């Protein structure tokens, strides 16, 4: 088992633990959320990326939508199907690795941004009761993926596939294989759209751009449901930290867990980069060696062909492009032992005496060594 396989197993374990923590917190606080529907319906809809007023019916609908999508997201990792990238089990190894990478980017960028701009932390959310916080964290993670990710990416994919005349359901469900070479164009555009839609200031916009870049790549590479699960899990862990902020042991354990998970993500980035770089260098070397080998083989075949023609040609019809070292003449006679006799001064040149002469057959003027 090599290092990559070991890290894949470690990433899988930490990712599943993060998913379980997030879902457990959501379910644990769900009764409190349902009992506070009236208060939640008076929340600002900007918390959950909507642009109209909430009411009780919309709140219930959003909770049901969140539960359904989270269930499908977890099922996508377990259920085997090639219908879309989300359900493709071949993606599992890399998916969990990029899950850890996302967590590391999320934590490192958040810490750096809080140091630069402390006001970026949404303290006002933590003033609400836990049921309301649970609604904001869980539903916002789903609505963010729909409003900021799914809609813009779907529009871009429809335009691209329509122009490239490849518009079909399979290409929309498995877009990465069709846009692999230009995937970063989609990522940059989608991240820019997300900042335009919900960016508040330069600092929050930078943070949102970083998050969206990572989530968009996970979406395009591993499917919408898996990207949604990543986003839900990260916000669920934030909810867990808020819920257990008064419990030193649990909050410390969660912080240590996130620190280790973040370190694993950074280490995974390093391994992926080194391995990718090594594979690229090896591939280029193999291509160069193959090209050199092919060139040498072609040259060898041409040489053999010329030698074969020379040996079958009357020596009197041969001439040489080098001059006689004795008199400078360029006219020679090729003897049976492959030595050269100058036709002007009679000097005899051994076959290896003056180096590899470029002998050309007069009736094959384009032949070369």
More confident residue, 306 or 149: 149
Which CATH number describes the domain made up of 313-369? 2.20.25
Per the model's pLDDT, the better-predicted residue between 175 and 331 turns out to be 175
Full-model pTM: 0.72
Q: How far is CA 265 from CA 227, 333, 346, in A?
A: 16, 75, 80
Given a cut of 50, is residue 321 above it in pLDDT?
A: no
Q: Is the pLDDT of residue 356 over 60?
A: no
Q: How far is CA 106 from the centre of its chain?
A: 17
| 126 contacts: CB under 8 Å, gap ≥ 6 | 133, 242
Stretch among 166-170, 295-299, 354-358 having the lowest mean pLDDT: 354-358
Residue 231: what pLDDT? Answer: 92
pLDDT tens per residue across span 77-135: 888 777 788 888 777 778 888 898 888 888 888 777 777 766 655 567 778 888 998 99
Separation between Cα atoms, residue 207 and residue 270, nearest integer Å: 22
As a dihedral over the C-alpha atoms of residue 18, residue 20, residue 22, residue 23, rounded to 10 degrees, the angle is 160
Separation between Cα atoms, residue 369 and residue 364, nearest integer Å:
12
**H/E segment holding residue 278:** helix 248-311
Task: Using alpha carbons, list the distances in angstroms from residue 362 to 313, 328, 348, 351, 354.
Answer: 10, 20, 21, 20, 21
- Lowest pLDDT segment from 18-27, 28-37, 210-219, 316-325: 316-325
Distances (CA, A) of 267 to 4, 50, 84, 262, 278: 11, 37, 29, 9, 16
pLDDT band at 320 (very low <50, low <70, confident <90, very high): very low
Residue 9's CB is within 10 A of a number of other CB atoms, namely: 13
CA-CA-CA-CA dihedral for 331, 335, 339, 342, to nearest 10:
-30
pLDDT of residue 119: 64
Q: What are phi and psi of 357, to 5 degrees?
A: -70, 145
Assess contact for 191 and 213: CB atoms under 8 A: yes
Averaged pLDDT of the chain: 81
Structure tokens at 290: 């193959």
pLDDT at 253: 92
- Which H or E run contains 360? strand 359-361
- Runs of H (alpha helix) within 117-247: 130-144, 151-163, 169-173, 176-179, 183-198, 202-222, 224-243
Tokens coding 52? 């109209």
Q: Two tokens at 6? A: 């070991």
Say if residue 8's pLDDT is above 50.
yes
In order of 44, 260, 317, the CA distances from 358 in angstroms are 87, 68, 15
pLDDT at 63: 92
The values of phi and psi at residue 341, to 5°, are -115, 120
Domain residues of the chain, as ranges?
3-277, 313-369
* DSSP secondary structure letter of residue 268: H
What is the b/e burial string over 282-302, where b = at least 16 CB atoms within 10 angstroms of the residue's CB?
eeeeeeeeeeeeeeeeeeeee
pLDDT at position 355: 44
Which residue pairs, CB below 8 angstroms and at least 24 apart, start in 206-209? Answer: 206/113, 207/109, 207/110, 207/113, 207/120
Instruction: Give the model confidence (pLDDT) of 57-84 as tens digits.
Output: 989 999 999 999 999 999 988 887 777 8
Give the residue with greater pLDDT, 52 vs 267. 267
Report d(CA 183, CA 176) in Å as an integer. Answer: 7
The candidate with the shortest Cα–Cα distance to 92, out of 79, 108, 83, 102, is 79
pLDDT of residue 369: 34
């Amino acid at each position: 088992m090599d290092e990559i396989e070991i890290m894949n197993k470690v990433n899988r374990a930490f990712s599943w633990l993060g998913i379980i923590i997030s879902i457990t917190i959501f379910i644990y606080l769900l009764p409190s959320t349902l009992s506070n529907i009236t208060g939640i319906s008076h929340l600002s809809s900007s918390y959950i990326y909507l642009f109209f007023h909430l009411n009780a019916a919309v709140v219930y609908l959003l909770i049901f939508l969140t539960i359904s999508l989270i269930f499908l997201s977890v099922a996508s990792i377990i259920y085997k199907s090639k219908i879309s990238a989300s359900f493709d089990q071949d993606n599992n190894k890399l998916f969990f690795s990029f899950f850890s990478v996302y967590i590391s980017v999320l934590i490192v960028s958040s810490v750096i941004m809080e140091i630069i701009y402390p006001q970026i932390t949404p303290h006002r959310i933590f003033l609400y009761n836990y049921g309301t916080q649970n609604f904001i964290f869980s539903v916002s993670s789903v609505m963010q993926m729909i409003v900021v990710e799914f809609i813009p990416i779907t529009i871009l994919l429809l335009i691209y596939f329509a122009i490239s005349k490849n518009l079909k359901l399979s290409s929309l469900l498995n877009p990465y294989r069709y846009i692999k070479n230009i995937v970063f164009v989609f990522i940059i555009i989608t991240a820019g759209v997300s900042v335009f839609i919900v960016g508040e200031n330069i600092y929050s916009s930078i943070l949102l751009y970083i998050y969206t870049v990572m989530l968009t790549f996970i979406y395009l590479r591993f499917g919408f449901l898996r990207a949604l699960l990543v986003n839900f899990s990260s916000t669920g862990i934030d909810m867990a930290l808020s819920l257990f902020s008064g419990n030193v042991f649990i909050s410390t354990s969660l912080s240590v867990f996130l620190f280790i998970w973040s370190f694993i993500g950074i280490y995974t980035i390093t391994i992926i980069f080194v391995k990718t770089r090594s594979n690229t260098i090896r591939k280029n070397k193999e291509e160069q060696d193959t090209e050199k080998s092919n060139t040498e083989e072609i040259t060898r075949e041409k040489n053999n062909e010329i030698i074969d023609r020379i040996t079958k040609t009357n020596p009197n019809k041969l001439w040489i492009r080098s001059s006689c070292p004795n008199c400078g003449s360029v006219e020679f006679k090729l003897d049976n032992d492959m030595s050269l006799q100058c036709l002007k001064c009679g000097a005899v040149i051994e076959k290896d005496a003056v180096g590899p002469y470029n002998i050309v057959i007069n009736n094959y003027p384009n032949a070369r060594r």
